Structure 1
Amino acid sequence: MKTKYGHLTYCSNIHPGESWSDHFSHLQKNLPLVRANLSPDAPMGIGLRLANEASLELIKPEVIAEFQTWLEKEGFYVFLINGFPYGSFHKTAVKENVYKPDWATKDRLDYTLRLFSILSRLLPEGMEGGVSTPPISYQYFDTTDFDRKQRVAVATKHIVDVLFYLIQMQKDSGKTLHLDLEPEPDGVLGNVELLVQWFLDVLLPLAIPEIQTKWGLTKEVAECTVRNHIRICLDVCHSAVSFEDNQTIVKLLKENSIQVGRIQISSALKVEFSKQPKEIMDLLVSFDEPTYLHQVIIKSDDGKLQSYPDLSEALQRGGKPFEEWRIHFHVPVFLDSYGLLSSTQKELIELLNLQKEFSITNSLEVETYTWSVLPEELQIPIVASIIRELQWVKSILENEISVGITE
């Protein structure tokens, strides 16, 4: 839905399934109920998750035509696609496989180009659209720096192939589409600083000369073209887990002219071991589930950070007094605490206030996809969950609190 601070939606990766029929049935069942509660008098945007299998079906002319007819009839529009998870994302052990195939593979390239082809047909006139994608790969796939550098080189070349596709698409259709790389702890581009470094030191030096050669553009215009089509997907859960400061993030992106393709509105699980450590550890066991990666970064009382690839490994270590744990577990954004446990809702509110003040992006996407693996006492029916999440975000956006970036 259109708000004063951008188009607000939720990501449909909350719904299970890999086929287009699975995806579409969930959209048909749930979206009209959500819109009736939140945007009954105006069209509502969709953050569409398409598995690879579903993309192979939806790209067929007769199938996408049927979907377009439904969108128009029901009052929806598609402006974002989540292209991070390629295959199954529910009811199976996803873990680090969510990065497979990574950007060093042709499968990831072909899948992403297909998503852009679909988005170009669905995107309303006059709007920009984006596809989110992994931060190149998972860092533990490589055992040596040399192997990782090789992987990054191949991956960057594939991303430049997507860039060329998007440049040509804009020339042919006038539509601006962008690839949104999503930093995540333990990704090769695990945080915003690493993404900025890759963008400046690897992507631009490779892409700019090739654009100049192919289209005869000046260096300055070629660089602007890269920045227009390759952006960052800023997932607030991920940056909070990494203890990244929101004001520093916004300043860093602004200073380096890197655009935010979308903000993924999400909260991480936060634990402060100031009291009752045994009771806290017992509670955390219920969040140690086998489906998703739950990376943990621990901040000790002296400010040092220590990371663990998954919650199970951090639990083996145990908690210590005065530590703060940030856990990659997308908990409901409308809750700031769960008894002895809490969330990074404060950090999320801070970034939403920065969005209100500086218009960081025009695309806002709630992404709480872990409802089915939350402890039972935190689960409520899916439509009610989505509505409550979006209502909470709207209430924050409508509250005219603003913050300034400190120097």
Structure 2
Amino acid sequence: MEIKGFHLSYCSNIHPGESWKATFENLKKYIPEIKERLEVDKPFGIGLRLSHEASLLLEKPEQLAEFKKWLESENAYVFTLNGFPYGDFHRTTVKDQVHFPDWTTKDRRDYTIRSFKILAELLPEGMDGGISTSPISYRHWFKSETELNAGMEVATKHLLEVVAELAEIKKQTGKSLHLDIEPEPDGILENSDEMLWLFSDWLLPIGKPWLAEKLDISEEQAEEVLKEHIQVCYDVCHFAIVYEKPADTFTKFEKAGIKIGKIQISAALRVLIPHEPAARDLLKVNLLPFEESTYLHQVVAKRKDGTLNSYSDLPEALKILDQTEEEEWRIHFHVPVFLDNYGALASTQDQISIVLNEILKNPSLTNHLEVETYTWEVLPEDTRLSLGESISRELAWVIEKLN
């Protein structure tokens, strides 16, 4: 739905199911309920999570036609896709496999191009559309700088091939589509400096001459094309975990001419480490329900001197909780955005408020907002509501903040 000039939705990766049938059934079940709960009578935006499996079916003309007809009947529209998880994302062990296949593979490239062709068919006239994607790969899969550089070279070529497709789609349809790369802890790109590095060391030096020749344009025009079609997905949870200040990050991207295609509204767990051994024991007890086997829950710790230390998953951090000198942990666990604490635990909800204030002051930063809490099934039981109620409550909280 459009609020204050922003297209707002929730990401449908909250719903289990990889097939198009399961995806469509969830949309048909929950979109009407959420609209009713929020009393929405204007067009309702959808943030569609489309797996590789689902995309293979939805690209078929008869399936697209059926989906378009349903969207029209529900007064709904699709403006953004989540193309980060390629395969299974619920009720299985995902962990680092959320990055597989990564951008070093043709599978990731082909799935992304297919998804963009679907989005071009669904996107209403006069709107830009985006697809969020993996931050290239999982950094711990690369054992040396040589391996990393080789992987980056292949990934860059695949990204540029997507850009060329998007330039052609714009030429044919007039629709501007962008690939929104989503930094996250332990991705090859996990902060703003690494996002800048992607552009300065890889995309621009390789992409300008390649796109200039491919599209028969100047290198200056090639840079404009590249920066139109590759943007950033700013996940509030992820940037909060690495302790970045939103205003500083937004300024950095603006100076580099890098656009933010989408802001994912999400909150991380946050804990202050107590000094007393008994209090640390209690903190460990409170964190144990969040130690689950489905997703990676990276921890970034802050020391007294301001330096950071990372753990690849929560169990690794809990092992040293009784002896650490770290003062604060931020944990990659997408907790509901409408709560600022979970008993003895807190969240980074305040970062969402700061981000929303920033975009209200400067609406040109982005016009795509997507609530992304996907961990409802693995949350401790006392924090759960019915799914329809949970989604509605999250959107209502954001709408209130924007208004």
Give the structure 2 partner of residue 124 of structure 1. 124
Distance in 2, matches of 1:142 and 1:229, equals 27
Give the structure 1 partner of residue 224 of structure 2. 224
Gaps spanning 5+ residues in structure 1: where?
Answer: 399-407
Question: Per-residue CA shift, 1:45-95, capped at 9, x if unaligned?
Answer: 000001111101111110110000000001110010000000000000000
Matched ranges for 1:17-56 at <5 A = 17-56=17-56
Q: 1:39 to 1:75 in 2, by over 3 A?
A: farther
Distance in 2, matches of 1:193 and 1:223, equals 19
Distance in 2, matches of 1:92 and 1:194, equals 30
Give the structure 2 partner of residue 401 of structure 1. none
Give the structure 2 partner of residue 392 of structure 1. 397
Aligned residue for 2:290, secondary structure, equals coil
Question: Per-residue CA shift, 1:191-242, capped at 9, x if unaligned?
Answer: 1210111112210111111222123322222211111000000000000011
1:72 equivalent in alignment to 2:72: yes
Structure 1 residue identity aligned to 2:123: L
Distance in 2, matches of 1:321 and 1:162, equals 46
Structure 2 residue identity aligned to 1:302: D
Distance in 2, matches of 1:340 and 1:150, equals 45
Aligned residue for 1:286, secondary structure, equals helix
> Of the candidates 336, 339, 346, which is equivalent to residue 332 of structure 1?
336
Q: CA RMSD in A?
A: 1.1
Contact 1:5 1:397 in 2 (8 A): no
Give the structure 2 partner of residue 300 of structure 1. 303
Question: Per-residue CA shift, 1:242-267, capped at 9, x if unaligned?
Answer: 11111110110011010000000000
If the length of structure 2 is used for normalisation, what is the TM-score? Answer: 0.97
Structure 2 residue identity aligned to 1:287: F
Give the structure 1 partner of residue 197 of structure 2. 197
Give the structure 1 partner of residue 380 of structure 2. 375
Aligned residue for 1:115, secondary structure, equals helix
Structure 2 residue identity aligned to 1:54: A
Give the structure 1 partner of residue 237 of structure 2. 237
Distance in 2, matches of 1:321 and 1:243, equals 18
Once the two structures are aligned, what percentage of the paired residues are identical?
Answer: 50
In the TM superposition, what is the alpha-carbon distance from 1:102 to its structure 2 partner? 0.2
Give the structure 2 partner of residue 402 of structure 1. none
Question: Per-residue CA shift, 1:321-363, capped at 9, x if unaligned?
Answer: 6610000000010111112100001111111110111111000
Give the structure 1 partner of residue 254 of structure 2. 254
Structure 2 residue identity aligned to 1:220: E
Question: Per-residue CA shift, 1:161-195, capped at 9, x if unaligned?
Answer: 00000001101111100000000010001112101
Give the structure 1 partner of residue 294 of structure 2. 291
Structure 2 residue identity aligned to 1:295: Q
- Greater alpha carbon shift after TM alignment, 78-87 vs 205-214: 205-214
Distance in 1, matches of 2:56 and 2:168, equals 22
Distance in 2, matches of 1:20 and 1:183, equals 27
In the TM superposition, what is the alpha-carbon distance from 1:42 to its structure 2 partner? 0.3
In the TM superposition, what is the alpha-carbon distance from 1:5 to its structure 2 partner? 4.2
In the TM superposition, what is the alpha-carbon distance from 1:39 to its structure 2 partner? 5.0
Contact 2:301 2:326 in 1 (8 A): no
Distance in 2, matches of 1:326 and 1:229, equals 32
Give the structure 2 partner of residue 354 of structure 1. 358
Structure 2 residue identity aligned to 1:191: N
Gaps spanning 5+ residues in structure 2: where?
Answer: none
Distance in 2, matches of 1:257 and 1:58, equals 34
Aligned residue for 1:274, secondary structure, equals coil
Structure 1 residue identity aligned to 2:317: A
Contact 1:138 1:187 in 2 (8 A): yes
Give the structure 1 partner of residue 368 of structure 2. 363
Aligned residue for 1:271, secondary structure, equals strand
Give the structure 2 partner of residue 214 of structure 1. 214
Give the structure 1 partner of residue 283 of structure 2. 280
1:311 equivalent in alignment to 2:348: no
Aligned residue for 1:194, secondary structure, equals helix
If the length of structure 1 is used for normalisation, what is the TM-score? Answer: 0.96
Question: Per-residue CA shift, 1:256-314, capped at 9, x if unaligned?
Answer: 01000000000000001236222111110110000000000010122121100000100
Aligned residue for 2:198, secondary structure, equals helix
- Greater alpha carbon shift after TM alignment, 198-207 vs 268-277: 268-277
